Structure 1
Amino acid sequence: MSAEERARRTQGADEASIAAFAAASPPETGVALVAVGGYGRGELAPYSDLDLLLVHDERVEAGQWAADLWYPLWDAGHHVDHSVRTPAQAAEQAAADPRVALGLLDARHLAGDSNLTLRLRGDLLTQWRREARQRLPELRELVSSRANLMGELAHSSVPDLKESVGGLRDATVLKALVASWLVDVPHAELERSRTSLLDVRDALHAVAGRATDRVVPEYWGEIAGLLDLPDDRAAQRLTRAAGRRITHLSRLTWSRAEAVLRRSSGPRRPALESVGGGVAVSNGEVVLDRGARPENDPTLLLRAAAVAAERGLVLSPATAARLVRECPPLPDPWPAEARDLLVRLLGAGRGLLAVWETLDETGFETGAIATFLPEWEPVRLLPHASVVHRFTVDRHMVETCIEASALIRRVARPDVLLVAALLHDIGKGGLLEHSVAGEPVAREIARRIGFDDREVDLVGLLVRRHLLLPEVATTRDVDDPATVAAVLAQVPDREALELLVTLTEADARATSEKAWTAWRASLVRTLFRRCVEALGEGTGPDVAVPDPIATVPDKVLRDLSQVWVETEPTDEGCRVTVVARDRVGLLADAAAMLALQRVSVRAARAWTVEAADVAEVAIGLSQWEVADVELDETVLLQRLENIVAGRLDPSERLARRSSARLEPTVGVRPEASATATVLEVRAEDRPGVIYAVCRALAGLGLSVRSMHVATLGPQAVDVFYVQEDAAGALDEVRAARAAHVVREALLDTVRLEDPQT
C-alpha cells in the first residue's frame, strides 16, 4: 500500500475516462472532462468512486453524447459520481455549498478543451479567495458539526478515516484554507500524516473488500500485515498519530484563520501583550516576551503552557519547540513554582486539551511532554482494551483532569486530585493490572515534582485504588457494615475518601456517558457516606495557635498606634508580616495592600494574640507567603497606612471584575471548632479574594480569629475562624448570614464563564 499504487490506480482510471470521453464523440472545443475531489488529487483507493465533472461552454449544448460518456465506465465496473455543468453553474454551486467548493478546488484536467479547464480552475480559485473571509465561518460550522457527530480519529474506538476529526476530510479543508491565502500550514507535516492515512485506507479497502472508511477493531491485525507493521497496536498507533497530527494542525490553523478575521473586523490590539514571567500574548497565541531567557528558566515551558491553557489560547508550536531546545531540565525534586505551574495547567479546564496536544505534538516522535514527564510515552496513543472508553489512554487521562477541574470545590487538596487524575492510568500498557503497575510510577512522579511524603502517599493511594469505589458499590451491599469495613481497610481516612470519590466521578465522566449514570453515581455516593459515618470524624480539631509574637520587635509591641510591615525573602518568594492593634477590618486592610500590588498570595496565616504583659491589648498579626521576591517594605507600609487612614479606598481600585470558570462557594463547618464559626471559602485564585471576604465579614462586625489560606493550583481554599466582636461562635442564623454575605461579595468580583468553553 503506497503512493505508487495510488498513482497506478489513478493512471488506469485516467486512461479509462479519457477513452470513454473520446468514444462519446464530444465537440472538439468548449467541452472538458475534469476529475474533482479525491480523484482530482490522485488519491484513489481500491474501491473509490470516480468523481467526474463534464464542463461545457454556455454556447455548447450537452446532447446525447454527454449521456453516452458514462456507459463505458459503468460497463467497466467503475463507480462513477458524475455531474454536467457550465463554468457559471459550477461557480454558482461552489458559492452555495462549501463542500462542493472543496471538491472543485482540486479540479484536474483529463480530456477535451484544456483552456476551459484552466478557466474553470482560475475562476473557482479567484472566487474562493475573494469570498474567503465570508465563507470561512460557514466552513467552520460544517467542520464543527461533523466533529460533534464523528468524534476524533485519534481517540475513537471505531474511527472513520475520512470524516472523523483529524481525518482525510480535515486534511482537505486545511488545503482549502491555504488556498485562501489567509493562513498557511506546515506542508511537510500535513502531507506526511495525510499519506499515512491514505495508506491505511488502501489497506482497509483490501481487508474489507469494499469501499469503507470505518475501521472496526477486527480489521486492525490484517491492516498491520498489509502495512508491514508488527501487530494491530502498531497499526493503531500509526493511524492515530497521523489523525492527532492533522487535528493539531487543524486547530492551530483555524485559530490563526479566526485571528485574521478578528483583526480585519475588530479593533487593533498590541502586537505583543506581556503577561509576566517571560510570557506574552500575540494574535491569540502565547509566545515569549521580549527579553525572555529560556536558558536560565527551567520552568518557562510550564509557565507558557499554564498561561495558554488558563486563557484558552494557542501555545505557539514554535515557542514550545524553542523552549524544549533551550530550557534547562527541571531539578529533582522540582521547585514549588514548577509544581504549582503544572497544577495550574492541569486545572485549567477545557483549555488544557489543546495546549497538552501542542506539547505532545512538539516534535513528531515524543513531544515536549517527555521533557518533564518521560513516563507519558508508554501510554501515548495507547488504545483502551475496553470499548466502554471513548478515548485512548492518554487522552482519557487528560479528559479526567478536565472533569476533575470542575469538581475541585469538593476536596481540600485539589493539587493532589489533579495530579492523581493525570496519572491514574499511567500503569496501562504493561503486563500487570494497571492500578498495581501505576502506583509506584505515580509515587515516583509525585516525589519528583516536589510533593512531601504525605502527598506522595495520597497520590499513590488514589492511583492504586481509583477503581475501588465503583467496583465495590456496584457489586456489594453498600449498607452492609462489612462492605464499609472492606473499603476503610484500604482507604483509612476522610481526606483520602473525599479525594477518591471525586477522582472516581471525574474518571467515569471522562470514560463515557454510560460510565457515570445516576444509578452508579448514587451507589458510589451512598458508599462514601457510609464510610464517612463509620469513621465518625469531623474536619479535625482547631488549629493550634503558634507563637509568632517572638519574631516581632519589642518596640513595635510597645507602640501599637502604628502598623508594622516587614518583608523577608524565602526560597519560594517572600514572606510579608503585618502587625497592628487588633480591630475589625485589619485583615481586610492588609489583604487590600497586597491585592493593590497585584501580588500572588500562595498562603497566609492570621492570628489574634493576647499579650497583656506587653501592650495590654489584643495584637493582630498576619503572615503572607507571596510569589514576588522584590517587594519594597516602604511602599507596602505607605499603602497600608493610606488604607487605614481612609486616604485610599481599595474597593474602587479592585472593582474591576475578573473572569472565572467556577462559581465561588462558602460553607459553614460547625463541627470544626467549639469556640469559633469556621467558614470555608473556595474561589478561583485572583487578587482581591481575601480582601473581599475580610471586608464582607468586617461589614457584619465580625472578627476573624484566625485565617488559613492556601492556593492550590487554580483554586484558593481559605478557612476563616470567625467570632462575634465580643468573642464566641456565631449562632446558626448569624453564621448563615455571614456565609451568604461573603458569597455575594465574591460574586460581585467575578464574571462567570462556561466551564466547558
Structure 2
Amino acid sequence: MTAAERAFRTAEADARCVDAFAGSCAPDSGMALVAVGGYGRAELAPFSDLDVVLVHHPDLDPSAAAEQIWYPLWDSGARLDHSVRSLPEMLAAADADYRVASGLLDVRHVAGDTSLSLRLRTTMLAEWRKGARGRLPLIRESAQSRHQLMGELAHLSVPDLKESEGGLRDATTLRGIVATWLVDVPHGPLETSRQALLDVRDHVHDMAGRATDRVTPETWAELAVRLGLPDERAAQMHVRQIGRRITHVTRLAWRRVDGVLSRPSSPQVARRPVLEPLAAGVALSAGEVVLDRRADPGRDPALLLRAATAAAERGVLLAPATAARLVRECAPLPDPWPEEARHLLVRLLASGPGLLDVWETLDETGALAGILPEWERIRLLPHASVIHRFTVDRHVVETCVEAAGLIRSVARPDVLMVAALLHDIGKGGLTDHSQAGEPLARRVAQRCGFDADAVELIALLVRWHLLLAETATTRDPDDPATVELITSRVRTSENLSLLRALTEADAKATSPKAWSSWRAGLILDLARRAQASLDSGVTLPPITTDVAPVPPGLEPGSVSVTVEPLPDGARLTLIAPDRVGLLADVAATLAVLRLGVRAARVWSQDDDGVGPAVGFSVWDVASDGAEPGLVRTKYEAIVAGRIDPARRFAPARGDLAPSVVVRPEASDLATVLEVRTADRPGVVHLVCRALAEHDVAVRSAHVDTLGPQAVDVFYLQEPSAGALSDTRAAAAAHAVRAALSGETASA
C-alpha cells in the first residue's frame, strides 16, 4: 500500500464522479462537484467514503441534478458521504463552525464549473487566514479533549491511527495550522510520517476488510509482513515512531502558535529577532532556545546540554534546528565528562514538566546518541506489563518528572535524578532488568564524572529499585525479617530515603494503580520501619576550623580578593573584617556578577587577638572571567548602598517549597541550619540577609550545588557568640524560609 495506490483509487473515484456528473442535467456553469476530506487530499484508503459536495450558485435549483449524480454513484458500490449547498451556504457554515472550515481547506475540484470550485477554495483559504486567531484556540481545545479521551498513539496497546494523539487527524490539523501563515512546522518530517501512517492505515483496512483505524493485538504479526519488517515488535515500534514524530511536530507547532497569539496582531515592521541571553552561547528568541552569535559548538562540548537545560528549566522549546545543528557541530563530550556537563544533565533531568518536550526534541534530532548512547536499548520499547501507560523510554522520562518533585526529601538529588533516568535501562533483554541495569548504570555514572561513592549508589538504586514495592506487597510487615531484608540491601538512612523517593516516582510514572493509596501506604510504612532500624542521623559537615593569613591593612568596607584559575572555572578567596551581614554582601556581589557559585566554604577567624575578627570565604565559580578588581568594586558599591541586591534577586515563585531545618544534634557550639532550595542566583544572599536582619551571625557555612538544588549548611551564633536559643533558632528558620519563598516573615 503506497501513495501511488491511493492516487490510483482516487483517480478511479474521480472517473466515476465525472461520469455521473456528465450524465446529469447539471448546467455547464454555476454548479460543481468537489471532493473534501481524505478524498479531497487524494488519499483514499481501500474502504474510505467518498466525501463530496455539490456546490451551486444560489440562483440555481440543484435537486434534479443531485439525484441524477448520487444514484449512479450508489449503484457503482461507492461509499458516499454527500451534501448539496450553495456557495453562500458553504461559506456561512464554515464561518459558523471551525470544523467545517477546516474540512474545506482540502476542497478539490472533481467535475463541473471549475471557476466555482476555484472561487470556493480561494475564498475559504482567505477566510481561514483572516479568522485564524479566533479559530486556533478552539481547534486546540478540541484536540486536547480528543487526546485525553483517545490517548497517545506512541503508547497505546490498541492504537487508533486517526484519532489518537500523533495520529492522522493531528497531521491534518497541522496542515491547517500551516495554512494560517502564522507559524511554520517542519514539513519534511511531517509529510514523511503522515504518508507512512497512511500506508499503515491502508494495510489495516485491507486486512480487516472494512474501514477501521484501530490496530488490534492480533494484527501486528501480519502487519509486520506487509511492511517488510522482521516481527510484530518491529511493526509496533515502526507505528509508535511515526506517532511520536507527529506528536513532536504537533506540540512544536502549538507552542509556536501560543507565541504568536500572545503577541499583538497589529502589523509589525520586519526586524531582526531579539535574542535574550540565557547562558554562555545560549539565548531565547521568540519563545525558543537558540544559539547566540558568540556560540562556538566545536569548542564547547557542554553547549547542547546547556541549551537543553535552559529550555527545560524555563518551560520553552529547544529549537529543533538548533538541536540538529549541535548534533552536527558540537564537540563530543570527553570521558569522563567535565563537572559542568554533569551538573547540567542533573538540572535538565530535574526541570520537571519542561523536560518532556525538550527530551523529545533531543530524541527526534538524534542528540541523545551523544549524551546517552544506551538510550537506544529502551527507545520505543513496549512494557511487558499492561499496568504501564507508556513505553519504557517515555516512562523513564515521566519518572524523572515525578522525581523532580521529591528532591527536597533526599540528601543527594543528583543521584536520585540520574537513578531515575537509568532505573529501567536494563530492559529489552532476557536478564532481569534490575540486574542487567546495574552494570550499565555504573558505566554511565562513571562516564558522567560522578565520584566512586556516587557511582556505586546510583548502581545500588538501579539494582534494587523494585525492592520496596515488591517487599511491601508480598511480605508480612510485622515480621522482623521483612525489615531486615530491606536494611541488608540498603544500609544507610540517606540511601533508604533515596530508594523511597525513587520507588514513589517510578510508581507514579507507571499509572495511578501503581501508586494507589493502598500500595503507597504499604510502601511508606515499610520504609518507615526500615528507617527506624537504621541510623536516623544525617551527616553534616563539621564547623570549619581553617586558619589562613590575614592581609594587612583591612579596613571596614574593604575586601581582599584573589582569584585562582581552575580547569573549568575559578576559585575566589574574599577576606574582609567580620560583621553581621558580611556574608550576605559577599554573596550578593558574586550573584550580581553572575559568576555561578558551585560550592563555598566560609568561616570567621580572630586576627591573633589583635583587632576585630576577619571573615574568610572561598568560592568555586563556573566562570573563568572573574576579575579581582571588578569583584572589589561591586562589593564596595553594595556595602555603600549604591547597588541594591534586593531588587535584583527577588525570590522565585511557583518552585518547590524550600526545606529549612534546624539540626540541634549537629553542633554544641552553634545552631546548625540546613537549607535546600532551587539553585538560582542570589540564594545565599537571600538567606544571609534574612539572618542579618534578625541579628544572627554566620559562624561558618558550607554551600554546595547538587544538580538543580542548592544544599547549604549554616552554623549560626549570637553576635556575642554562643548557640541560638530554641525560640531564636525557630525564628531564624522561619525568616529564611519566608525569604526564599517570597513571603513576609511575621514576628
Task: Say whether the fold is shared (TM-score over 0.5).
Answer: yes
1:655–1:749 CA contact under 8 A, matched in 2: no
CA contact (8 A) 2:493 2:535 kept: no
How much does 1:418 deviate? 1.0
In the other structure, the counterpart of 2:589 is 593
Deviation at 1:101, TM superposition (A): 1.6
Corresponding residue number in structure 2 for 1:66: 66
Pair 1:548 & 2:546 matched: yes
For 1:536, the equivalent position in structure 2 comes to 535
CA distance in 1, matches of 2:116, 2:419: 63
Correspondence 1:233-244 to 2 at 5 A? 233-244=233-244
Q: Which moved more, 1:161-170 or 1:662-671?
A: 662-671
CA distance, structure 2, for counterparts of residue 652 and residue 532 of structure 1? 41
User: What letter is aligned with 1:284?
Assistant: G
Opposite residue 470 of structure 1, the aligned amino acid is: A
The one-character-per-residue Cα deviations of 1:652-692 (angstroms, maximum 9, x if unpaired) are 44354545532323222334334433222222112211111
Matched with 2:126 is 126
The alpha-carbon deviation at position 565 of structure 1 amounts to 2.7
Alignment match of 1:734 (pick from 728, 732, 741)? 728
Aligned equivalents of 1:569, 1:416: Cα separation in 2: 28
Q: How far apart, in 1, do the equivalents of 2:205 and 2:164 lie?
A: 17
Counterpart in the other structure of 1:42: 42
Superposed displacement of residue 609, structure 1: 3.9
- Choose from 656, 673, 676 the match for 2:670: 676
Structure 1 residue 156, shift from structure 2 partner: 2.6
Counterpart of 2:325 in structure 1: which amino acid? R
Tell me, what secondary structure is at the counterpart of 2:161? coil
Please give the alpha-carbon distance, in whole angstroms, between the structure 1 residues aligned to 2:74 and 2:721: 94
Distance in 1 (alpha carbons) for counterparts of 2:34 and 2:637: 79
AA partner of residue 626 (structure 1): V
CA contact (8 A) 1:196 1:238 kept: no
Determine helix, strand or coil for the equivalent of 2:131. helix
Report SS of the residue matched to 1:375. Answer: helix
Match of 1:485 in 2: 484
Of stretches 632-641 and 171-180 in structure 1, the one that deviates more from structure 2 is 632-641
**What is the percent sequence identity of the aligned residues?**
60
Whole-Å Cα distance in 2 between the matches of residues 276 and 450 of structure 1? 22
Aligned residue type for 1:328: A
Give the drift of 1:338.
0.8
For each residue in 1:464-505, what CA deviation from the matched residue of structure 2 results, as whole angstroms up to 9, or x when unmatched?
111111111111122322111001111111121111111111
8 Å Cα contact 1:31/1:112 also seen in 2: yes
Q: Distance in 1 between matches of 2:726 and 2:478?
A: 32
Q: 621, 624, 629: which one pairs with 1:629?
A: 624
1:697 pairs with 688, 691, 694, which one? 691
1:590-639 deviations in Å (ceiling 9; x for gaps): 2122122222111112223456x454764432221111212222232333
Is the contact made by 1:556 and 1:564 (CA closer than 8 Å) also made in structure 2?
Answer: no
Distance 2:556 2:595 in 1: 26
Q: What one-letter code is carried by the residue in structure 1 that aligns with 2:570?
A: C
1:75-94, aligned counterparts within 5 Å? 75-94=75-94
> C-alpha deviations, 1:628-651, integer Å up to 9, x for none?
21222223233334444x444634
Which stretch has the larger CA shift, 388-397 or 635-644?
635-644
Structure 1 residues 635 and 110, CA gap change in structure 2 (3 angstroms): closer
Match of 1:312 among 309, 312, 315: 315
The 3-state SS of whatever aligns with 1:549 is coil
TM-score, normalising length: structure 1: 0.93
SS at match of 1:501: helix
| CA deviation vs aligned residue, 1:398-436 (integer Å, no higher than 9, x gap) | 111111112111111111111111111111111111111
Among 602, 605, 624, the alignment partner of 1:606 is 602
Amino acid paired to 2:226: L
- Residue 255 of structure 2 corresponds to 255
User: Matched residues in 1 for 2:188 and 2:78: separation?
Assistant: 32
> Paired residues, what number?
741
Secondary structure (helix, strand or coil) at the match of 1:146 reads: helix
Structure 1 stretch displaced more, 74-83 or 691-700: 74-83
| Partner SS, residue 547 of structure 2 | helix
Cα distance in 2, alignment partners of residues 265 and 120 from structure 1? 26
Residue 568 (str. 1) matches residue 564 (str. 2): yes
The answer to which of 655-664 and 344-353 deviates more is: 655-664
Q: Distance in 2 between matches of 1:269 and 1:184?
A: 18
- 1:427·1:434 contact (CA, 8 Å) conserved in 2? yes
**Could you say what the CA RMSD is over the residues aligned between the two structures, in angstroms?**
2.4
Question: Residues of 1 paired with 2:629 and 2:182: CA distance?
Answer: 53
- Structure 1 residues 154 and 454, CA gap change in structure 2 (3 angstroms): same
Residue type matched to 1:391 in 2? F
Superposed, which structure 2 residues align to 1:8-19 within 5 Å? 8-19=8-19
| Partner Cα distance (2:696, 2:341) in 1 | 38
User: Residues 219 and 727 from structure 1, CA distance in 2 versus in 1: closer, same or farther, beyond 3 angstroms?
Assistant: farther
- Change in CA separation of 1:219 and 1:92 when aligned onto 2, cut-off 3 Å: same
Comparing 617-626 with 589-598, greater Cα deviation is found at: 617-626
- 1:390–1:512 CA contact under 8 A, matched in 2: yes
User: Would the alpha carbon gap of residues 285 and 607 (structure 1) be closer, same or farther in structure 2, given more than 3 Å must change?
Assistant: same
Deviations 1:533-589 (A, max 9, x none): 00133113x533455324x356479x8995433222222311222233433222222
Shift of 1:257: 3.3
**Residue number in structure 2 paired with 1:180:** 180
Question: What CA distance in whole angstroms lies between the structure 1 residues aligned with 2:355 and 2:646?
Answer: 34
Task: Output the CA distance in 2 between the equivalents of 1:475 and 1:674.
Answer: 45
One-letter code of the match for 2:617?
A: S
Deviates more, 1:732-741 or 1:277-286: 732-741
Q: Is the 8 A contact 1:591 1:690 kept in 2?
A: yes
2: CA distance between counterparts of 1:391 and 1:361?
Answer: 17
**Structure 2 Cα separation of the partners of residues 315 and 655 of structure 1:** 26
In the aligned structure 1, how far is the partner of 2:653 from the partner of 2:568? 27
Secondary structure of 2:59's counterpart equals coil
After superposition, residues 139-154 of structure 1 pair within 5 angstroms as: 139-154=139-154
Alignment partners' CA distance in 1, 2:408 and 2:272: 36
Q: Given the alignment, which residue of 741, 745, 748 partners 2:742?
A: 748
Give runs of aligned pairs for residues 643-682 of structure 1, distance below 5 A. 643-644=638-639, 646-648=640-642, 650-654=644-648, 656=650, 658=652, 660-682=654-676
- Answer whether contact 1:538 1:672 (CA < 8 A) is retained: no
Tell me the residue number matched to 1:204. Answer: 204
Alpha carbons of structure 1 residues 620 and 479: separation in structure 2 relative to 1, 3 Å = farther
By how many angstroms is 1:138 displaced? 2.3
8 A contact 1:241–1:381 mirrored in 2: yes
Stretch deviating more after TM superposition (733-742 or 617-626): 617-626
Q: Higher mean Cα deviation, 13-22 or 207-216?
A: 13-22
Deviations 1:97-146 (Å, cap 9, x if unpaired)? 22222221111222222222222112111211222233222222222222
Alignment partners' CA distance in 1, 2:600 and 2:194: 54
Q: Quick check: 1:494 aligned with 2:515? A: no
- Structure 1 Cα separation of the partners of residues 47 and 198 of structure 2: 13
> What is the letter of the counterpart of residue 638 of structure 1?
T
Alignment of 1:318-357 (within 5 A): 318-357=321-360
Give the alignment of 1:225-624 within 5 angstroms.
225-265=225-265, 271-362=274-365, 367-540=366-539, 543-545=541-543, 547-550=545-548, 552-553=549-550, 555=552, 563-609=559-605, 613=608, 615=610, 618-624=613-619
Q: 1:753 maps to which residue?
A: none
In 2, Cα distance between the equivalents of 1:475 and 1:68?
Answer: 72
